Amino acid sequence: MAFETQEYGLPSGKQRIIQELVPGKQISLAHIIANPDHVMYAKLGLDPTINYDRSAIGILTVSPAEAAIIMGDIAIKASGVEIGFVDRFSGSLIITGLVAEVEAAVTAITDYFSERLQFTICPITKT
């Protein structure tokens, strides 16, 4: 939400952004990008030496954010994926690997969080 700051005592013309975190246990995004263009790797700062013909990127977000660490651990143990990015403050995880490896990792993550941790899970999507 953005508010005009004049009424809040801040200099006129500036805005203050308020972020709200809704408490809960959920995976709100579980998406697989199969065979992404090499530009995606470059823009995301991922390993550019990947074989793009057989590669995939997995993107997940979780709340509470610290659970992204657990997601990364499960992903590595479930298949041969690599961690492209993990952020315990925003709850974001990006994994890379072969399409089958990324699918196996994302499935392992959603299964574990649903069954063992009783999280609400979104459907896995794929492009």
pTM: 0.79
**Domains delineated in the chain:** 24-126 (3.30.70.1710)
| Per-residue buried b or exposed e for 96-114, using 16+ beta carbons within 10 Å of the residue's own CB | bbbbebbbbbbebbbebbe
Could you report the per-residue pLDDT of 74-106, keeping only the tens digit for each? 999 999 899 999 999 999 999 999 999 999 999
